[in-house]
Structure 1
Amino acid sequence: MTSTATTQEAPEKVNILVVDDLPEKHVVFRTVLDELDQNIVSARSGQEALKFILEMEFAVILLDVNMPDIDGLETASLIRQYKKSAQTPIVFITAYVDELQARRGYALGAVDYIPSPVVPEVLRSKVRVFVELFRMNRQLQKQAAQREALARSEAARAAAEDAIHRADFLADASQVLSKSLHMDDTIAAILSLCVPMLGDRAILGIPDKEGGVRRLEMHPAPRADDEEVFTAELRSAADQVIRHKQFNLVSLGSRVAAICPLMAGDEIRGALALLADASHFDSPRIALIREFAGRASIAMENARLYSAVQEADRRKNEFLAMLAHELRNPWLPSATRCTSWPAPSRCRPSWVGRGT
């Protein structure tokens, strides 16, 4: 158990790039740095070093200044052109350092110059610092990635919970709106469902034939000391929604009104206005309002059709009652007419008084 835990906690080895054209120097560097127990990668030229840089990530680059073909300074310049190695520490190894060379090296991003032949303790201690810095940066990157992944996970979970909450709300709304086919009950149910899920106040306006608001219902009902809720500005915005049959988001000072048309096919049946703070009406909330308005429109249309059917039944029943009454009293209409005739004999049928 202990050995396994120790193995898992052992830090991951990092890569150290040594660039020098002389094989014997690579032997020296490897001997000095073996104590650090890291991956030592050897490159014999600047071109070979660039190839390794494209394939691997390094904690530090030990770069000989004097090399044939591409010298150390030119190699450093090419290394800095790659985004992957733009910030990798470069330590120049050289037998001599003049001021001009040092300026150019530091301008290319060199972090240090170490004279050759190297002092093992000096080289080892400096490389150890860069190794630790690299590990710390990698650990910070991992922690940042973990925090980002956690934030994304929490955001996805919150979005999923919000979506479930919205779906449950719509399911409950459909169930509530289907309980009654009376218009007053339907309107009351619509307004009650809106608060507080869709806004902190709901107003439903039913238009007249001219497109203005004929009937107005509100929830919660305004108190005597409340400021005017259905202001002229809000009424004008509701009229526009009714006329143009389009959703509108209206700013009312510190408040915002989301006004949604209630449609039955191409016909406008009303407008639903929801009032709340501006931050309340984000994109998911507006989408939910539109979806709810569609279901509210269906419920109101069903109530309207039910009322129309009831009115037709009432008229039919009145007609049938009158017809049945007349059938039971066939002479009542004739007798009623006869009372207005001046000659009573004209009211009698021709067969009255004849002998048989």
Structure 2
Amino acid sequence: MSEQGPLAPTTVRPRPKVLIVDDQPQNLVALQAILRELDVEVVQAGSGFEALAAVLRYDFVVILLDVMMPELGGVDVATLLRGNSRTSHIPIIFVTAIDSDDIVFKGYEAGAVDYLFKPINPVVLKSKLNVFLELDRRWRMLEERSAELELAKDRAESANLSKSRFLATMSHELRTPLNAIIGFSELLQGEMRGQAADDLCTIRDAGRHLLSVIDSILDISKIEAGEVTLNIEPCEVQSLLDEVARMAAPLLRCNRNSLEISCPEPPLHMVTDTAKVRQCLFNLLGNAAKFSRDSVVSVVVEHDLVDGEQWVQFRVTDRGIGMSPDQVASSFKPFTQGDDSIARRYGGTGLGLAITKTFCQLLGGDVEVDSVLGQGATFTMHLPCGKPGAGQECEPASEARAPLGTRGECVRGPLTEEVRGRGAPAEEHGGHLDILLVEDNPTSQELMQRYLARQGHRVVVADGGKAALALLESEAFDLILMDIEMPEMDGLEAARVIRRREAAKGMHSPIVAVTAHTFAEDRRRCFEAGMDAFLPKPIHPNELDALLAHVRSGLGASIGRERHPGLTREH
């Protein structure tokens, strides 16, 4: 016999139990004889008291209960059983020789579900019992199925947790070296000329592309887990388009494409999740740039009124390779890219359009595509304008942005509403900062030291939380840049200790998380630990500059050491 692996264990169900209660032994013998034909285990009780003892020992499918018994009659037994949560579910069929409406009424009032009159018809008895046996069988199947589903749910949750932990770990492990690759290539570009500068640009762009792939995988994982959250804020459409155009410019240049943007006047405003709209537009522009060559990519923005609500349409059109009807039908499915030849020729993960579709729907809109093979494609995003709150003014989106294809935004905590897009050279602000860099990775230490020192800031490095606490006992800093994952004492615990120390002195030093852990849960934990802002790795220079500019502007002309105006939170 061939081996087929271990057999799954078979569940052997015990035979269902039926309790028969009668004070006449001959009646018990008769009932036992009738029930012998059924696949049940019969338990006998010669009195009401024996019946009560039996139901505490066994779980019965049904009880055949004589009405007229000395000391404790059937109605009394039924009343007691119905009043007990352990036995109230057991069906009771009364058995009696008295055909009286009064007896029947009392029985039903006590909780009986049916009646049998003596002399008992065996066919009727077995038919009634089979109904309850079938109900019990189905109930037990339902319980087993529920248990299986609960087990499957637990396993799925465990697998999802393992997946989340794996993704978080891989994100951290990939972002840390990418921080060095992208950071040093940008740092060295200003020092190199000619071919060396071009090579560094290639290295930087390759690192940014890899980071965009990582971000897309994390996005689709968050979507599958239902963990996507929205950050609704005012947004000026023209500024947003200008920002996306700058982000997509390298992709357009790569295939010698040009970009045309048409946006209505006066400036159009929305109240939406700006970051997600930005990412959707970048995904569509990147898609158009990738599949077009020596052509024009256009973005047309229109607005209209639908059922009394203002809507915005973003129409992105290219004159590239286009899609067949089958490709159009599957274009928004994750990991789908037309066919294998397109994937090999043009690359990509096939996630951008799926993410765009989900984000648009989360924002209350949708995205659709119209395409003819060989003639290009038009993707149209339909999004509601949203409604500003009372007195709320829509402001232009920030000008600086994360690297090509990355989200990399500085997540705003209590520290600032202006941390993104306000970077400026140190000379414009005057005064330099004393910065405590808490980082255990030597490469990241060197990168940050060189970048900050180039701007004239003094940087003191602590290679862990304990070392940072020791330095803070003897010296104060204008800004603390805190890594999260470090041996002995991580950044979260170090931040908690710092906040406890400062609370007693009425101080508040700005603490910014600088980490490759970028999940929403990681950000929440950072803010709960008392940090003021969050910079994900790889760090973009514009965002770091924006943060430093805000700290300098908060400090004013003189750099204080006790409380920093503009950055202080109420305790």
- On whether the aligned pair clears a TM of 0.5, the verdict is yes
The superposition leaves residues 319-341 of structure 1 with CA deviations (integer Å, 9 ceiling, x where unpaired) of: xxxxxxxxxxxxxxxxxxxxxxx
What residue identity is the alignment partner of 2:520? Answer: I
Query: CA distance change for structure 1 residues 180 and 298 in 2, over 3 Å: closer, same or farther?
Result: closer
1:267 aligns with 2:510: yes
The one-letter code matched in structure 2 to 1:134 is D
SS in 2 for 1:59: strand
* Corresponding residue number in structure 2 for 1:126: 128
- Map 1:191-206; keep pairs closer than 5 Å: 192=211, 195-196=215-216, 197=218
Q: CA RMSD in A?
A: 4.7
CA contact (8 A) 2:93 2:112 kept: yes
Does residue 232 of the first structure (1) align with residue 395 of the second (2)?
yes
Residue 76 of structure 1, aligned match among 53, 75, 78: 78
- Check conservation: 1:177, 1:299, Cα contact below 8 A: yes
Residue type matched to 1:120 in 2? P
* Residue of structure 1 aligned with 2:521, choices 274, 287, 292: 287
SS in 2 for 1:84: coil
- What's the secondary structure of 2:154's corresponding residue? helix
- Indicate how the Cα distance of structure 1 residues 99 and 190 shifts in structure 2: closer, same or farther if over 3 A, else same: farther
Q: Secondary structure at the match of 1:40?
A: strand
2:107 partner letter? G
Kindly provide the amino acid, as one letter, of the partner of residue 221 in structure 1. Answer: M
**2:521 & 2:246 partners in 1: Cα distance?**
23
How far did residue 152 of structure 1 move? 2.5
Structure 2 partner of 1:179 = 181
User: Which amino acid letter does the alignment assign opposite residue 287 of structure 1?
Assistant: E
Specify which of 87, 93, 106 is matched with residue 91 of structure 1: 93
Identify the residue that residue 36 of structure 1 maps to in structure 2: 38
The residue that corresponds to 1:26 in the other structure is: 28
User: In the alignment, which residue of structure 2 is the partner of 1:13?
Assistant: 15
Cα pair distance change 1:81/1:267, threshold 3 Å: same
Partner of 1:242: 415
CA displacement at 1:90 relative to structure 2: 0.7
Maintained 8 Å contact 1:61/1:89: yes
Query: Residues 168, 134 of structure 1: CA spacing in aligned structure 2 closer, same or farther, 3 A cutoff?
Result: same
Task: Give the conservation status (yes or no) of the 8 Å contact 2:176–2:538.
Answer: no
Cα distance change, pair 111–218 in 1 and its aligned pair in 2 (3 A): same
8 Å Cα contact 2:16/2:133 also seen in 1: yes
Q: Which residue of 1 aligns with 2:338?
A: none
Which letter maps to 2:395? A
- Indicate the residue corresponding to 1:221 in structure 2: 247
Residue in structure 1 matched with residue 106 of structure 2 by the alignment: 104
Q: Does the C-alpha gap of structure 1 residues 108 and 185 become closer, same or farther in structure 2, counting only changes over 3 Å?
A: farther
TM-score calculated relative to the size of structure 1: 0.57
Of residues 143, 147, 150, the one that matches 2:149 is: 147
> Does structure 2 retain, via aligned residues, the 8 Å contact 1:174–1:295?
no
Task: Give the C-alpha shift of residue 9 in structure 1.
Answer: 9.3
Q: Distance in 2 between matches of 1:51 and 1:148?
A: 34
Percent identity over the alignment?
Answer: 25
Question: Residue 126 of structure 1 aligns to a residue in which SS?
Answer: helix
Q: Evaluate the alpha carbon distance shift between residue 25 and residue 219 of structure 1 in structure 2; reply closer, same or farther with a 3 A threshold.
A: farther
Question: Structure 2 CA distance, aligned partners of 1:53 and 1:66?
Answer: 19
- Residue 67 and residue 241 in structure 1: after superposition, are their counterparts in 2 closer, same or farther (change >3 A)? same
Counterpart residue identity of residue 415, structure 2: I
1:249 alignment partner in structure 2: none
Q: Describe the shift of the 1:177–1:18 C-alpha distance in structure 2 as closer, same or farther (beyond 3 A).
A: same
Matched, 1:163 2:165: yes
1:34 deviates by 0.7
- Contact 2:411–2:534 at 8 Å: present in 1 too? no
Shift of 1:96: 0.2
Shift of 1:267: 3.3
Q: Is 1:21–1:45's contact at 8 Å kept on the other side of the alignment?
A: yes
Larger Rg: 1
* Greater share of helix: 1
Cα distance between partner residues in 2 of 1:269 and 1:116: 85
- 1:123–1:269 distance in 2 versus 1, CA, 3 Å: closer
Instruction: Give distance in 1, aligned partners of 2:184 and 2:103.
Output: 93
What one-letter code is carried by the residue in structure 1 that aligns with 2:481?
A
Q: Which runs of 5+ in 2 are unaligned?
A: 2-6, 189-203, 223-227, 229-242, 249-258, 276-393, 399-409, 419-478, 483-508, 527-532, 545-571
- Please list every run of 5 or more consecutive structure 1 residues that lacks an aligned counterpart in the other structure: 201-216, 246-261, 273-283, 305-356
Check 1:19–1:98 CA distance in 2 against 1; reply closer, same or farther (3 A cut). Answer: same
Q: SS of 2:89's equivalent?
A: coil
User: CA distance change for structure 1 residues 288 and 268 in 2, over 3 Å: closer, same or farther?
Assistant: closer
Distance 1:53 1:244, change over 3 A: farther
Aligned partner of 2:510: which letter? E
Give the whole-Å Cα distance in 2 for the aligned partners of 1:32 and 1:58. Answer: 18
Contact 1:58 1:88 in 2 (8 A): yes
User: Is residue 415–residue 510 contact of structure 2 (8 Å, CA) maintained in 1?
Assistant: no
CA gap 1:233/1:36 in 2 versus in 1, 3 angstroms: farther
Aligned to 1:281: none
> Secondary structure, in 3 states, of the residue corresponding to 2:181?
coil
- 1:297 offset after TM fit, Å? 7.1
**CA displacement 1:181-202 (0-9 Å, x = unmatched):** 55956999799568443699xx
C-alpha contact (below 8 Å) 2:412/2:534 kept by paired residues = no
Of 93, 112, 115, 1:113 maps to 115
Displacement of 1:85 after TM fit? 2.7
TM-score (norm 2): 0.37
